[in-house]
Amino acid sequence: MPDVVYRDKYTRRVIRLKPEEKLVTISFTPGGGQEVARELANAGLTIRLAATSSTATFVSVEGLDSEQFGGHSLAALPQVVGWSSVFKDREGGRHYVVPGQLDIQFVDGIIQARALGLIRELGSRVISEGGTPGFYSVSLPPGKGLSETIRDFARLDDVEFAVPSLLGEAPETGPSDKVACVAGSGPATAPPKRRASIDSVQREPCFGKLWALHNSGQTIRTANGTIICKKGVDIKALDAWRITLGRRRVVIAVVDTGVDITHPDLAQKFLRRGCERWNFVPGEGPEPIDTDGHGTQVCGVAAAALNGIGVVGVAPRCCLLPLRVALNGLLGDRADAIYHVTARAARDPARKYVINLSWVMPCDYTGVRRAIDRALSAGALVVAGVGQSKNGGSGVDMKATPAYPASYEGVLAVTATDQNDEKGYIVDFGRQVDLCAPGSIICTTDLGGEYSFQTGTSFAAAHVSGLSALIWSLDVGLESETIGRILKQSADPIDQQNPDFVGKLGAGRINARTALCQALALIELGASRRPFAKSRKLPREL
């Protein structure tokens, strides 16, 4: 299959995608998955990725390239709709191209009839319409290839960008390391007192396992062994909570696999959904019901309730907005979820939104890039984990292999540290990193009302999102850029503990105590849009 070459109209960059050897994506009719999977297994092919859209199911398999699959008997199966090469870009990103279609974003304000007319004029048909206004996935016209069709649409003044339709890649996860957290004596749904004491925080049943919030040098036993924590290596949450536990006017939007909506540590934390659709997985209902666990785990780190049950999150009195996407689904669905937050922020300017993206895409995708740009313009703060190497070792330098969306301009890129302030095992690093946060052996909420230990930059990002929400709770008049500067200027440097990664772990590991004190000093000066110095008046450290 030839290279795919086109000019990305949004970024103004020329994109050249080269087909990978022995890797092909196949689309087939919904409901035909079992038979196709059986035939692939009989042919000795390995399924690398499986995904579903509203109109088709997809698998990427190793062992054949696109041309070889076209000549194979598998291509004649009645369930098979089409196939395409998997491509690599110059940055090493892998493009799981959806066979036979592309994504079109029309300019703001275009009339639907006009957009549909232009699609028909170029010989395409609408496959699906996205949740972002003016976004369509359309078919390739008969007899035309992907590069040519992208160029034809990009020439139109009414088109903002035209790019291949792409699939995401779900992260590899092992079995959860479950934790027994015995509930306290209070009722599960009882809200905390207006001014909860530090003692009440420490009475959360699993608080002793939350070394990232308060590290007393405790020993933590997990199914995989025992870790001994280095006293004082934490984000100083107890000191920060003397200042604020958060406000419901500040919302942490978690774009992920959804949430366990009945979890006793999360059920009282959500915004009112009303008639809104919080589920962006095609074919599912409107509720963001988590079937994977990842989104539930991220939500718990950021904002689990202070209620005498299980754990407590960094921002226990801030709201959660859980939006469900399929991490192995269409990347356009993630863009729609991010746009949903932007639209909410425009309708409700009294609230402030932190958008948590605890996932990495297999490559750059213009739809998500544009959605983030719009969210930033609307005043939201966007936080993303940088991910981890699939090949083990010490991780990958982002200079050689950028991680998206963390590498997009304006996004706070976060990597993970452990209980000794050392860079987490196999997590990525680089000068593009903005901050570090705890992300190793993190006790958090899980499916079925349970709890587990988790590791990765997903949970480091959730700590940063929670702290961002605490800072905003002091003054919703602060700008998102100011929040970012506070986080960086207040971080504790950890280069000395990481001599092999000097200058590649951002400003350091977040410090909630210092961050809130700097924010208070800034607010008192009434200078939220000007540079500031560190405050010398800090609460007594516990």
Break the chain into its structural domains and give their ranges.
4-167, 237-525
Of 30-34, 66-70, 121-125, 389-393, which one has max mean pLDDT?
121-125
pTM here is 0.93
Residue 187 has pLDDT above 90, yes or no: no
Residue 316 has pLDDT above 80, yes or no: yes
Q: What is the pLDDT of residue 194?
A: 45
Task: Report percent pLDDT > 70 for the chain.
Answer: 92
Residue 324 has pLDDT above 50, yes or no: yes
The three-state (H, E, C) secondary structure of 371-384, written as one string: HHHHHHHCCCEEEE
Q: What is the pLDDT of residue 533?
A: 39
Active-site position among 27, 458, 465, 473: 458
Please tell me which residue, 534 or 159, carries the higher pLDDT value.
159
Mean pLDDT in the chain? 91
What average pLDDT does the segment 279-284 reach?
Answer: 93
Per residue in 125-179, pLDDT tens?
Answer: 999 999 999 999 999 999 999 999 999 999 999 999 999 999 998 876 655 688 8
Confidence of residue 189 (pLDDT cuts 50, 70, 90): very low
Q: What is the pLDDT of residue 185?
A: 34
Active-site position among 95, 214, 263, 294: 294
Per residue in 449-489, pLDDT tens?
Answer: 999 999 999 999 999 999 999 999 999 999 999 999 999 99
What average pLDDT does the segment 414-437 reach?
Answer: 95
Residue 294 bears catalytic tag: yes
Say how many Å lie between the first and final Cα of the chain, rounded.
63
Q: What is the pLDDT of residue 391?
A: 61
Q: What is the pLDDT of residue 35?
A: 83
Active-site position among 103, 234, 256, 333: 256
Task: Report percent pLDDT > 90 for the chain.
Answer: 78
Residues 188/194/196/200 CA torsion (nearest 10 deg)? -20
Q: What is the pLDDT of residue 174?
A: 57
Query: CB-based contacts of 327: which residues, under 8 Å, 6+ apart?
Result: 168, 169, 170, 171, 256, 257, 292, 294, 359
Residue 463 bears catalytic tag: no
Query: CB-based contacts of 5: which residues, under 8 Å, 6+ apart?
Result: 14, 15, 16, 17, 147
What average pLDDT does the segment 496-513 reach?
Answer: 96
Q: What is the pLDDT of residue 190?
A: 41
Does CATH place domain 237-525 in 3.40.50.200? yes
Residue 196 has pLDDT above 60, yes or no: no
Residue 256 bears catalytic tag: yes
Q: What is the pLDDT of residue 192?
A: 44
How many H helices and E strands in the chain?
A: 12, 20
Q: What is the pLDDT of residue 418?
A: 96
Residue 526 has pLDDT above 90, yes or no: no
